[in-house]
Amino acid sequence: MSILEGSDIKTADGTDPLIFKELANHMPLLCWMADPTGHITWYNERWHEYCGTTPAEMEGWAWQSVHHPAKLPSVLETWTSSIASGQPFEMTFPLRSASGDYRSFLTRITPYRDRSGEIIHWFGINIDVSEQEETAARLKNKRYALKRVLAERQAILDQLGEGVIITDAAGEIVYMNDSAQILHGQKQLGVSPDNYSSTFDLLTLDHEPFPVDRLPLTLAVRDNVTTIDGQWIIRRKDGSEIMAKGNAKPVYDDGGEKIGAVLTIRDETKTHANEMALKEAMDAKDMLLYEVNHRVKNSLQLVNSLLSLQAGQGSDELRLNLEDARARIGVVARLHGQLYLSSMHDRIEAGAFLKGLVADTVVALKPIDSITSDSVSEDEVMLLLDQAIPLAIVVNELVTNALKYAFTDKSEGTVSLTVRKKADGKVEIEIKDDGCGLPEGFDPTASSGLGMRVSYALVQQLRGKLTFSASDKGTVFLVEFEPTAMSVV
């Protein structure tokens, strides 16, 4: 039967199919009809528009010409099987368009039977699903890419030495990496902020239950607060405890909306134990130095007392020499006494100490009541004992000499001290008097006096230099040296 003569075909209920065909011509789908043997007798206009064919070109089994050669065998096999069994047909395959490209169509073929059950014709529709397939393929590729990114990120997070916990916007835990699971001794997802402490047995450093509202992760979730180096204790189910330190911060999307929070944790148990051991060692060292300074001071005071007794029984020359020795020992004893009273047992701030030393020396040795001291410390200068002791003795010697010789014919005068740091990092100590100056032709560097020889020897020990200038308006001694670098304790 010609497809042009399809009007002679009747439907199962005897109605004329012309009305149905007219409706089918206005459908956006490709539609067609076939006789019981599969011989196609009619196509709707949409079919011919898409394929660019005429009814004569498509009669019978000529539809094979618009099928993709690679897919056609399976289409024929399925279609002939349906014809033989009388079962509906459904299959997706490509059809060639008028422009020559192929688009994917979902084809459904249904048999129509008469009242006795015999098939009188087949009705088929082809639905263009190429866009859906392309969309599905894109989504599949995106899902694959997303899964790959997530897998890579999870692999990276699991390799981190730090534990990582991620929450959603409400604060429920959605991710824990392997390190976080090891640190806590468990892995629990879906935990809300109210249950952080109880679920993971989190404690303060005082071993009290950690208040939920003060936990770094809670602060990040509820208050948008970033915490750096927060500390807490994790008590694991086996009873072991670790000292945890971590950072927590809220996480926002590109639009500025909070989408969750992240907590990173590291195990500081060994570090904390080492810090505590170091603190105990430092406390023990401080206590030892405290005791040493105390005993050294007492011992030097005892020596000073013995020298005082000896001086009282000797000649004038011996008495003077012993008094000088006592003064030098007194300086060292004074310094150890200062260390004993301070929190630093191996160093001292030179400016304050020397100001007090000069003032006390002037009060003790001034030949007349009108001699005063005037000391200025322009900079803070911290010195270790190996420099502080020789410097203090040098200053004491120079101030003592000024008091002994600078004011022999003066009714008043001043001994001044200035401590300053120079631009090159060196320290300069200036001892100045406004006395009569040095005797004409007197060279301190060639002096046979013990005080000057001691001063020059100790300045050499400081690896510094001692210079002077003198006039009838007084004498100035300058001690210059480079302070020893010290570590911060």
* DSSP code of residue 292: H
Assess whether 71 and 111 both reside in one domain.
Answer: yes
Query: Cα separations (Å) of 262 from 165, 199, 327?
Result: 6, 18, 67
Cβ atoms 337, 389 nearer than 8 A: no
**Mean pLDDT over residues 141-145, rounded?**
81
Question: Residue 35 pLDDT more than 60?
Answer: yes
pLDDT for the residue 204:
93
Query: Cα separations (Å) of 250 from 97, 256, 257?
Result: 54, 11, 10
pLDDT for the residue 155:
66
User: Residue 42 domain-assigned?
Assistant: yes
Assess whether 425 and 477 both reside in one domain.
Answer: yes
Helical packing angle, 269-311 and 316-341, nearest 10°: 160
Cβ atoms 114, 12 nearer than 8 A: yes
Closest alpha carbon to 244 in 210, 279, 220, 218: 210
Q: Which residues contact 430 (CB under 8 A, 6 or more apart)?
A: 416, 417, 418, 420, 476, 477, 478
Assess whether 120 and 170 both reside in one domain.
Answer: no
pLDDT for the residue 291:
54
Taking phi over 0 as left and psi of -120 to 50 as alpha, with beta for the rest, 66 belongs to alpha
pLDDT for the residue 201:
93
Assess whether 358 and 427 both reside in one domain.
Answer: yes
pLDDT for the residue 93:
94
Strand residue runs (E) in 381-455 = 382-384, 413-421, 427-433
Residue 162: band (very low, low, confident or very high) from pLDDT cuts 50, 70, 90: confident
3-class state of residue 61 by DSSP: coil
Cβ atoms 167, 261 nearer than 8 A: yes
pLDDT for the residue 363:
78
Kindly report the length of the chain: 489
- The dihedral of CA 131, 133, 134, 135: what is its sign? positive
* End-of-domain residue from the set 128, 149, 181: 128
Q: The domain that contains 450 carries what CATH number? A: 3.30.565.10
Q: Output b/e per residue, 149-163; b: 16+ Cβ within 10 A.
A: eeeeeeeebeeeebb
Assess whether 255 and 277 both reside in one domain.
Answer: no
* End-of-domain residue from the set 230, 245, 267: 267
**Mean pLDDT over residues 142-149, rounded?**
77
* End-of-domain residue from the set 296, 326, 356: 326
pLDDT tens-digit readout, 347-365: 778 888 888 888 877 877 7
User: Residue 341 domain-assigned?
Assistant: no
User: Residue 477 domain-assigned?
Assistant: yes
Six-digit token string for 45:
């206009």
User: Residue 210 domain-assigned?
Assistant: yes
Assess whether 223 and 303 both reside in one domain.
Answer: no
pLDDT for the residue 20:
64
Question: Residue 4 pLDDT more than 50?
Answer: no
Assess whether 358 and 465 both reside in one domain.
Answer: yes
Helices (H), 312-425: 316-341, 350-365, 385-405
User: Residue 178 domain-assigned?
Assistant: yes
Question: Residue 342 pLDDT more than 90?
Answer: no
Helices (H), 366-408: 385-405
Range of the domain at 224: 160-267
Mean pLDDT of the chain: 81
Cβ atoms 461, 434 nearer than 8 A: no
Helical packing angle, 316-341 and 385-405, nearest 10°: 140
Six-digit token string for 182:
């090891």
Assess whether 442 and 354 both reside in one domain.
Answer: yes
User: Residue 140 domain-assigned?
Assistant: no
Q: Output b/e per residue, 77-106; b: 16+ Cβ within 10 A.
A: ebbeebbeeeeebeeebbbbeeeeeebbbb
Assess whether 164 and 260 both reside in one domain.
Answer: yes
Assess whether 359 and 473 both reside in one domain.
Answer: yes
**Mean pLDDT over residues 253-280, rounded?**
83
Q: In angstroms, rounded to a whole number, what is the distance separating the alpha carbons of residues 457 and 191? A: 74
Q: In angstroms, rounded to a whole number, what is the distance separating the alpha carbons of residues 484 and 381? A: 11
pLDDT for the residue 446:
73
Q: In angstroms, rounded to a whole number, what is the distance separating the alpha carbons of residues 204 and 233? A: 6
Helical packing angle, 350-365 and 316-341, nearest 10°: 150
- Mean pLDDT is highest, among 10-19, 166-175, 391-400, for 166-175
Assess whether 107 and 176 both reside in one domain.
Answer: no
pLDDT for the residue 103:
93
Specify the number of domains making up the chain.
4
Question: Residue 2 pLDDT more than 60?
Answer: no
Question: Residue 311 pLDDT more than 60?
Answer: no
Cβ atoms 437, 474 nearer than 8 A: yes
Question: Residue 322 pLDDT more than 80?
Answer: no
pLDDT for the residue 217:
94
pLDDT tens-digit readout, 228-239: 999 999 999 898
Q: The domain that contains 198 carries what CATH number? A: 3.30.450.20
Question: Residue 246 pLDDT more than 70?
Answer: yes
Residue 387 one-letter amino acid = Q
Percent of the chain topping pLDDT 90: 39
pLDDT for the residue 5:
37
pLDDT tens-digit readout, 446-476: 776 777 888 888 899 889 999 988 887 889 9
Q: How many CB atoms lie within 10 A of CB 216?
A: 27
Percent of the chain topping pLDDT 70: 78
Assess whether 384 and 463 both reside in one domain.
Answer: yes
Q: In angstroms, rounded to a whole number, what is the distance separating the alpha carbons of residues 166 and 150? A: 14
User: Residue 305 domain-assigned?
Assistant: yes
pLDDT for the residue 3:
36
User: Residue 292 domain-assigned?
Assistant: yes
Of the two residues 281 and 101, the one the predictor is more confident about is 101
119-133, 221-235, 259-273: which has the minimum mean pLDDT? 259-273
3-class state of residue 23 by DSSP: helix
